[in-house]
């Protein structure tokens, strides 16, 4: 989340919203938000497996966690990029997300 917060102005320039979701309860989600100084919404209290299954994310029964899952969703609410982790690695970093958004906008402009 800190990576996305560090690039939040660039996302705003691209008219892109950043939203995070977590299995953490409210108090832990607030701690994370304060630690990274998040200015974007952070949903909390997701339930395993119900909410993980809704988005197709990998989850772990033993620790009751949802592994990192990133989506880039366009203005038409279609998933244009997705990254599903099955462990501690596998995330779309902020710079890659920005490049993806910028590239999609450029292709859309060229197609017009």
Confidence of residue 50 (pLDDT cuts 50, 70, 90): very high
- Which pLDDT score is estimated for 3? 96
In 1-112, alpha helices (H): 2-6, 8-13, 26-36, 50-55, 94-111
Q: Does residue 6 sit within a domain?
A: yes
Express each pLDDT in 10-36 by its tens digit: 999 999 999 999 999 999 999 999 999
Please indicate, yes or no, if residue 26 is contained in any of the structural domains: yes
pLDDT of residue 11: 97
Q: Which residues of 54-80 are buried (b: 16+ CB within 10 A; e: fewer)?
A: eeebebeeeeebbbbbbbbeeeeeeee
What are the Cα distances from residue 37, in Å, to 8, 64, 83, 88? 11, 26, 24, 23
CATH number of the domain encompassing residue 58:
3.40.30.10
112 lies in some domain: no
**Best CA proximity match to 56, nearest among 40, 77, 45, 71:** 71
Question: Do the domain assignments include residue 39?
Answer: yes
- The predicted pLDDT at position 44 comes to 96
Q: Assign 5 a pLDDT band (cuts: 50, 70, 90).
A: very high
CA 22 to CA 24: how far, in whole Å? 5
Give the pLDDT confidence of 52-100 residue by residue, as tens digits.
999 888 899 898 889 999 999 988 899 999 998 887 788 899 999 999 9
- Split into its structural domains, the chain has a count of 1
Q: Which domain holds residue 42?
A: 2-107
pLDDT of residue 86: 83
């Amino acid at each position: 989340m800190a990576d996305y917060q560090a690039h939040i102005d660039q996302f705003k320039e691209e008219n892109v919203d950043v939203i995070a979701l977590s299995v953490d309860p409210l108090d832990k989600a607030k701690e994370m938000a304060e630690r990274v100084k998040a200015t974007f919404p952070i949903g909390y209290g997701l339930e395993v497996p119900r909410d993980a299954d809704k988005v197709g994310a990998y989850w772990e029964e033993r620790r009751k966690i949802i592994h990192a899952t990133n989506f880039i969703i366009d203005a038409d609410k279609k998933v244009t990029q997705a990254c599903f982790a099955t462990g501690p690695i596998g995330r779309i970093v902020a710079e890659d997300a920005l490049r993806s958004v910028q590239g999609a906008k450029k292709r859309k402009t060229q197609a017009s």
